[in-house]
Structure 1
Amino acid sequence: MKKFFKISIFVILGIAISIGTGIFMYYRNLNVVKPANSSSDNTTTTKSVKQNDNSSGKKNILFVGDADGLSDTIFVASFDKDKKEIEMLSIPRDTYYPRPGYNNPSEKKINAAYSEQKIDGLKSAVEDLLGIKIDNYVILTYDGFKEIIDTIGGVEVNVPFNMKYDDNVAKPPLHINLKKGIQVLNGEEALQFVRYRHGYTEGDIGRINAQQEFLKAFIKKVTTPSILPKIPSLAITLSKNLQTDLTAKDITAYALDFVKNKPQNINASILPGEGGYMDNFSYYFADQQKSAEVASEMFGNGQKINSKSTVLQSTYSPINNTINVEVFNGTTVQGLATKYADKLINLGFNVIKIANADIRNYSESFVYTNNNMDKAIKVANALSIKNVLNDESLDKNADVVVIIGEDKK
């Protein structure tokens, strides 16, 4: 799963925010000679140590790429200074996320939460979607990315092949013209490199790999001593191109962690799911179970919120259409099998049979499968059934068999 992630150019800005501001403060303080008898300085030093200690825990930061008021890029990142790892989870902007009162097809995409309810709306949606707590946010722009790369003197990367592409409709318009080979890319060229998506034999995976290599090269560049003389200019550039609720103390603490515990690994993932259509409108449908597992693994050490989590709830997904389900009424209550079959159908599952069970006195509901446990768990989660069993004697036409018991009356 770690191989699949659309690394945004905006994470680079976020890292630059921390490294740029904090390294400057850190090295400046190293060169300040403090009077030995200064009680106020000693007090300040003591407070500083406590603040750094208090900020040692992982925090989940929401990064948003703002393109003229639209959230072009959305992802959550967290830095573990003890493991020296960065965790990043991208949320496709077309992720299906229906909200009460927003009924137009375009309003059912998660990026609409930002355009209509701004950062508070998007933050709430992401917390709900992933079942995690978002501690802070950073909002960044394309122009800021270009300025930062220019400020640090460019980034050296290996362009794997000639990249040529033009799109006058894109916002901003996209014109890419890069030659193959190792070279130092300026801001405009770097933007072209990380936005390029055509020509990779592996499709989007190839672009992801290229973005990962760019990010590694960027981190290498900004963590070398040669960057220090450029810190004042970098700080000015950052101040013009970002919005965040991180305080100066927060940024400094993160930066010191980066300096002292340089990240060795970047674990990047994309929200599990796949693209599909509902009502003739294109969406990215999250795989509910896998999404919950990935979010918990990457950010689960953070405080969870009490949430109705869309991931944990059941929503329509075209993935479900590949699962053939038979639903049986294991009680004497009329219409119970039809009731739950309809629920599965509304969620996209392919219900191939609705009938009464041979035995009509089931006290609990059960989900059975013939060696398709992943599919059975999806169905069980959709109906909130806890009993999931494997039965190799089942009808081969069905991936999953559901028996509705008295607990579902």
Structure 2
Amino acid sequence: MKKTLKIIIFIVIGIILSVSVGTYIFYKNIHVPASHEKDTSAVNKNKSQNNKIENIKRKNILFVGSDENNLSDTILIINYDPLNKKINILSIPRDTYYPRPGFNAPEEKKINAAFSEEKIDGLKNAVENLLNIKIDNYVILNYEGFKKIIDTIGGVEVDVPFNMKYDDNSANPPLHIDLKKGRQVLDGEKAIQFIRYRHGYVDGDLGRIKAQHQFLEALLKKILQPSILPKVPSLAITISQYLKTDLSASEITQYAYQFIKDKPSTIDAIALPGEGGYEGNTSYFFVDSIKTQEIVKELFTDEVSSLNTSTTSLFENTNIKVEILNGAGIEGLATKYAEILKNEGFNVVKIGNVIGMTFNSSHVYARTDEEKAKKVAKALFITNVEKDISPDVKVDVTVILGKDKK
């Protein structure tokens, strides 16, 4: 199931290392001791700093590449585990189906809309709800900064798989892509065209993600060349102008130093599992909830609260009566998801079908208690939770599975 790839983490590595090394060079140039005598206070400070570096914690970092219209064109979750010298990355397609209460337009049901309409906090909440993990920090890099980074390092050589031609004069600013097939060095402007092109891939948005992976592999090779070292201060200045993050300068430096020191032995990266489809006339990427649970367990085990199968948690879930109904007309769907709930300790009292109606999206209904419904929704990675309280109902929660769970 898991594929080990060197992918979008490379741009993050480039960003963080550039900032950190630039900071380090600045520090060394400015804070040179005036005397050659041994400075014991400086030694003690270094020891203290090293202790902090050794004790840095594992974090989930949300990385966002945004366009001129503040759309999250690239979404990644990066988990750096310094204790085990491991990096985990999960790519989330921008068209991932994520309906939000109060946002009913077709385009508003895509996860990148959470960023454009509710900024980074909205996207952070969406990712936390979608994957049931805690996001500790974020990093945002816009396209203008990306272009300047590529130009500063002298471009990146990639193999363009086919002619890429696309014009959108209605975009703000207008988008024009014109790349010829073949191996070539892309400057900043052409690099943006390459990673933004999305209309000629057989597998849609996943094809675009693969192309981004190819580009960022080439970017890593370029960044790691010795000839880049003199350009690090310029990169640091560029990045500081175009990058937004809630990581402090000391945190960035600590993590970058730890990364350089450890040289992580494992970099595991994967795209969110699922497939493209339509709801009405709008195309979405529908998440495979079961495979997503497996990936979350594997890559983010220590961070996931709902996957805690302690005796107390299982006992609490046994008091929640659930009926699960197949509203997609897909054979065996309700039984498959009922097994997930049973494994989490929930009391599944009914499995059935919705008659006479087909649902595109899945819903969870609170029949007695909203908190119980939220627990069930979180276990099944369903975002639609609604109240349908009834004094005569025999279950606490009703789940209707839609086509997004196929």
Q: Structure 2 length normalisation: TM-score?
A: 0.69
Residue type of the alignment partner of 2:147: K
Structure 1 residue 184 displacement after superposition: 2.5
CA contact 2:3–2:269 (8 Å) conserved in 1:
yes
Residue number in structure 2 paired with 1:322: 330
Residue number in structure 2 paired with 1:353: none
Distance 1:120-1:325 versus aligned 2 partners, 3 A rule: closer
Residue number in structure 2 paired with 1:16: 14
CA distance in 1, matches of 2:381, 2:166: 43
Q: Aligned ranges for residues 39-54 of structure 1 at < 5 Å?
A: 39-54=40-55
CA contact 1:71–1:93 (8 Å) conserved in 2:
yes
Q: Aligned ranges for residues 78-97 of structure 1 at < 5 Å?
A: 78-81=79-82, 85-97=86-98
Q: Aligned to 1:322, what secondary structure does the other structure show?
A: coil
Distance 1:160-1:293 versus aligned 2 partners, 3 A rule: same
CA distance in 1, matches of 2:381, 2:224: 47
Structure 1 residue 121 displacement after superposition: 1.9
CA distance in 1, matches of 2:133, 2:256: 24
Residue type of the alignment partner of 2:220: I
CA distance in 2, matches of 1:229, 1:315: 61
CA distance in 2, matches of 1:146, 1:408: 50
CA distance in 2, matches of 1:279, 1:201: 21
Structure 1 residue 240 displacement after superposition: 1.1
Structure 1 residue 259 displacement after superposition: 2.4
More deviation, 167-176/69-78: 167-176
Distance 1:175-1:317 versus aligned 2 partners, 3 A rule: farther
Residue number in structure 1 paired with 2:338: none
1:341 paired residue among 353, 369, 377: 353
Q: Aligned ranges for residues 214-253 of structure 1 at < 5 Å?
A: 214-253=215-254
Residue number in structure 2 paired with 1:134: 135
Structure 1 residue 186 displacement after superposition: 1.3
Distance 1:250-1:116 versus aligned 2 partners, 3 A rule: same
Q: Aligned to 1:175, what secondary structure does the other structure show?
A: strand
Deviations 1:153-177 (A, max 9, x none): 2122233444444343445433333
Deviations 1:86-141 (A, max 9, x none): 42222223323233344444433323322332211211121111011111101121
Residue number in structure 1 paired with 2:156: 155
Distance 1:271-1:321 versus aligned 2 partners, 3 A rule: farther
Deviations 1:183-207 (A, max 9, x none): 3321112222222335556766554
Q: Unaligned regions of 5+ residues in structure 2, if any? A: 309-321, 336-348, 362-378, 383-393, 399-406
Pairs aligned (count):
340
CA contact 2:153–2:231 (8 Å) conserved in 1:
yes
Structure 1 residue 278 displacement after superposition: 3.6
More deviation, 255-264/140-149: 255-264
Residue number in structure 2 paired with 1:293: 294
CA distance in 2, matches of 1:233, 1:66: 22
Distance 1:279-1:231 versus aligned 2 partners, 3 A rule: same
CA contact 2:103–2:109 (8 Å) conserved in 1:
yes
Q: Aligned to 2:75, what secondary structure does the other structure show?
A: strand
CA distance in 2, matches of 1:4, 1:192: 26
CA distance in 1, matches of 2:334, 2:72: 41
CA distance in 1, matches of 2:268, 2:205: 17
Q: Aligned ranges for residues 8-407 of structure 1 at < 5 Å?
A: 13-26=11-24, 35=36, 37-55=38-56, 57-67=57-67, 68-81=69-82, 85-199=86-200, 207-262=208-263, 266-278=267-279, 281-302=282-303, 304=305, 320-323=328-331, 340-342=352-354
CA contact 1:321–1:348 (8 Å) conserved in 2:
no
Residue type of the alignment partner of 2:250: K
CA contact 1:288–1:314 (8 Å) conserved in 2:
no
Distance 1:279-1:158 versus aligned 2 partners, 3 A rule: closer
Q: Unaligned regions of 5+ residues in structure 1, if any? A: 308-312, 328-335, 350-379, 384-404
Over the matched positions of the two proteins, sequence identity in percent amounts to 52
Distance 1:91-1:171 versus aligned 2 partners, 3 A rule: farther
CA contact 2:325–2:334 (8 Å) conserved in 1:
no
CA distance in 1, matches of 2:282, 2:182: 40
Q: Aligned to 1:97, what secondary structure does the other structure show?
A: coil
Q: Structure 1 length normalisation: TM-score?
A: 0.68
Distance 1:108-1:153 versus aligned 2 partners, 3 A rule: same
CA distance in 2, matches of 1:142, 1:285: 27
CA contact 1:76–1:90 (8 Å) conserved in 2:
yes
Distance 1:317-1:125 versus aligned 2 partners, 3 A rule: farther
More deviation, 151-160/102-111: 102-111
CA distance in 2, matches of 1:264, 1:172: 42
CA contact 1:223–1:259 (8 Å) conserved in 2:
no
Q: Aligned to 1:301, what secondary structure does the other structure show?
A: helix
CA distance in 1, matches of 2:285, 2:154: 37
